[in-house]
Structure 1
Amino acid sequence: MRYVVIGASASGINGAKTLREIDKNAEIILISKDEYVYSRCILHHYISGHRDVEDLNFSDKNYFEKYNIKCIKCVEVVRLYAKKHEIHLSDGRMINYDKVLISSGASAFIPPIENLREANNVIGLRNLDDAVRIKEIASNVENVVVIGAGLVGIDAISGLMDSGVKITLAEANDRILGIQLDEYAASKYQELFKEKGVDLKLSIKVEKLIVDENNNPKQLLISTGEKIPCELVVVATGVRANIAFLEGSGVEVDKFGLIIDERGETNIKDIYGAGDVTGRNPIWPTAVKEGIIAASNMAGINTVMTDFFGSKNTMNFFGLPTMSVGMINAPDESYKEEIQIEGNNYKKIIHKDGKIYGAIIQGDLSYTGILTQLIKEEIDISKVKKPLFKIDYSDFFNIKENLEYTY
């Protein structure tokens, strides 16, 4: 049996490892466009100089030797022929497979703003090459603009914070981390970034990138009419699934990415998928789970993805830790919001009919364990008489024979 895994990030590395753990004698080939294995979640630490390439590696020591996996590095898959069970590579090679795991991930999306796609020194932050370029260019310029205030954009700013450049953030939303945080929690980080000298341009639209005669960034024109000086632009406005090589293959995709079921299977036999290539729930723990489940089914172990709980976000900027999970704001008046503010500690819980749908905890995170469990397991808290912020595991020690909780 020959398994081929496309991609060396969370789902691919864990998928290949799972294949070897189940099938000791199979041939396993992993194809990666990268030279190294690294975590995309901590690329900003490379930019800041806190980690080198080796420190970015999240896999086991001597991973490929330990699990007897052949790795083909620095090449891309350009075409997959499902009927022939063939994969064609950018270096001209062709590889046959018995079963394949598509975990090719996603790439940074550069929006169609005038000059943004054509100019030099306009970079997404998605892979190690991006981080290397950002670090090199930032050491030789004075002004950097980051477009997009999601986690990637904020990570980029954090990585550049001590590089000596003037940083401006351009964001269409009225706050940073708009998907992860509500207005209050976001405002705490905004205050800290401002104290560090970051110029926040919120609730604006980027109109045009003004370039010089050499097509290098000069200024960013925003909807207020202001022209922001910049010699480097980091774009963090989302990603697109890496599925171009599937064109004409018959493998089903949609506007988000690769379509898989709860077993990681695509619509074509022997072809599986996992991770960011699906364009859904782009969170590291989910990608790991999907890779393991898809690989298990490839190797004949029937497994399904029943736990899609992957909407938890944790962050820590300037020593202020925050976790958000599920909803961050009540969608309508039928939901209740409980808020507690004590100094730098902020807690918010959104609930309805005895079920917690979301929460934000900032500062002291000691409550996040029980809170995450309550949301994940959809535990009914309607019969608990104490305040929501005082609930602990002891409130659910008694369980009936039919597994119902008693209070």
Structure 2
Amino acid sequence: MDAPSLTKLLSPEGWALVNSLPPYDEKQAMALATRLRADGVDPELAAAALTQSRLRAKARAKLGDFADGMLFTPDGVEQATRLVVAALHARRYLAAGVTRVADLTCGVGADALAFAGVGLGVLATDVDEVTAAIATVNLRHFPEAEVRHADGLSLDLAAERVDGVFADPARRTRGGKRVFDPAAYAPPLDAVWALREHVPALGIKVGPGIPHQGLPADAETQWVSVDGDVVEAGLWFGPLAPDGPGRSALLLRTTGGVTTSRALRNDDEDVVPDVGPVGAYLYEPDGAVIRAGLVAHAAAELGGRLLDPTIAYVTTDQPAAAPAPGRAPLATGYRVLDVMPFHLKRLKAYLRERGVGRLTIKKRGTAVTPEQLRTQLAPRGDGEATLVLTRVSGAQHVLVVDPLR
């Protein structure tokens, strides 16, 4: 979005228009655009309003009903923190006794909204003028939140009475290409975490693919998953890491409007998992557990062993205990129905004999691609099956499993 389009949207006519549009429906978007033009709506305003309607619909997955009163950029929707996660960020600062947070890379303001929502003072900055203006609109209900068009690294944190810092460095180029080198983040990761020398309560949101090598030894690095999808890793310093440095995983699951959580930490670096044969049950640890390198810890809690020392599958002889009320599950479980060495003709015959036509194929530790294998197997029939392609003690195997419900 450019500045002229934003100005039109923020006019009384524009704001009324964008808030009066029906729920976004891609199939009806062209007809709606035609009707707006026929009604004499300025074409540029109509296009901007329809774009906001589309972005709001997309943002609802992260921000729920709050999205309906906000403005967005396409990048802002992609980079915005999910509301359930932003609320956890805010609670970290609140629990640490922070009173005023500087959000150095605020984007459209999702995290700043959560900070302000728990009563923290907020100073939010963004280097892009239009994005900063949009964040100002989105934070309009919070007088204690100030937004500036500025480079957050240029702030005099002491003069601004800031006692907590948060940053979410951009991890994509202007062309949308993902950036994996932390030194190429905007701003660079080293420049951000150097701020802990001035403000110990420092938090940095980073991509979940960040390698363990090179992580700061004085931070808690926490990988977060939401409903099984790994959404971020966070680096937490000083009072924001009350349990001390280390790696942890935080799992959030929402069912029926109720969110449960589960945290797992590497408090014991000497956990060495057992490795053994396939048991009656198979468990796939949550992606945050895997990213955090805590599969051995999960295996211990599940009462199981690994199929292979390099593969993140846990097997047990008895079903693992159900999570306690209010706690999210560590892993997805399956009952093991059959185990066989991987052999295409034998597997094809196995499925044909059982009339399996619908396949779910999972893999880990094998070069076989599910799409290619599905074509080669040419499944036919009314039955269905779930196949797990993986290594067992170094050898390629197929596990036929049934999800535990």
* TM tier relative to shorter chain: under 0.3
Q: Greater CA radius of gyration, 1 or 2?
A: 2
RCO higher in structure (CA 8 A, sep ≥6): 1
TM-score (norm 2): 0.26
Q: Identify the structure with the greater helix proportion.
A: 2
Give TM-score scaled by structure 1 length. 0.26
